[in-house]
Structure 1
Amino acid sequence: MGRGTAVLVLMAGVAACAETTPPAEAPAPEYLGVQTRLLGGDLVNFLVEMRGASSAGDVTAYADCAAAQYARIRDYGFARRVRTNLDEEGGLWRGDAVYTVSPALPEGTRTIDADVVVAACREDGIPTV
């Protein structure tokens, strides 16, 4: 083994023993509020804002929590997400989501059982309305 190769092997060994800095933890989510707008009948719009979301799914979950609690306040047991528009700029996430609320399980695949979702939101530390 040549001298240059020996130095590289030695440096690689030293680098392997060096302390590594753990990756920085993601900031804790900040839930900045919900605006609720009744669009008519059982159609409701929720505007949510948050910082520290790890993905768009965090923002959608925040909107789901707001919709579930709103359904409970109205003495309805269910909600169904109709659409969600998301935007992120400079770490500030905004969600604009529309849901139907109803006393009976609505048709569709994006249905929310209000009691179950509100309990999960509390367990996960996500505020509701």
Structure 2
Amino acid sequence: MGHSGMIAALSAVLASGCATAAPDPVSVTLEETRFLAENIVQVVVAVEGVPDPAVIRTATDCAAAEAAMLQRLDFARHVRTAMREEGGIRRADAVYSVTKDVPRGDFILDVAVQAEACRELEEAGVIANYG
């Protein structure tokens, strides 16, 4: 999905059931980013506001893209996500492989494209308090 499509999809998720008022932005807090190995990054995010798994996945994708860019890597491939909920806050613990070259497999992110999409989501007010 392109970043314009992602913005539209997340906006639709946030607006569902809310015909008259604009939805509050989703609050995303990056709790932890660490490299488990040279090419494996773990990110933990806390998300308040929307329990939709697509929004949570986007938050972890944003964090992984940011971590990859800091290491001057170009691609990230989602490996796994474990989620739990406590007191209305969902936490996602996700792992990505990050590489300079396009990795094999599914769920591959071009980190430059993902980072731009994340900035646009934040500017559009779809996510807030990210990073």
Tell me which interval the TM-score lies in, with the shorter structure as reference length: 0.7 to 0.9
Q: Answer 1 or 2: higher relative contact order, Cα 8 Å, separation at least 6.
A: 2
Percentage identity across paired residues of the two chains: 35
1:79 aligns with 2:79: no
Counterpart selection for 1:39 from 36, 39, 48: 36
The size of the alignment, in residue pairs, is 108
Q: What is the aligned partner in structure 2 of residue 94 from structure 1?
A: 91
Give ranges in structure 2 of 5+ residues lacking alignment: 1-18
Cα offset, 1:103, TM superposition:
0.2
Please say if residues 118 and 128 of structure 1, whose CA atoms lie closer than 8 Å, have aligned partners that are also in contact.
no
How does the TM-score come out when normalised to structure 2? 0.74
Moved runs in structure 1, 4+ residues, more than 4 A? 22-26, 126-129
Aligned mates of 1:41, 1:33 — CA distance in 2: 21
Structure with larger Rg: 1
1:121 aligns with 2:90: no
CA shift in 2, pair 1:91/1:128, >3 Å? closer
- The residue identity in structure 2 corresponding to 1:53 is V
Q: Deviations over 1:78-99 (max 9, x none)?
A: 0000001112233201000000
Please say if residues 41 and 67 of structure 2, whose CA atoms lie closer than 8 Å, have aligned partners that are also in contact.
no
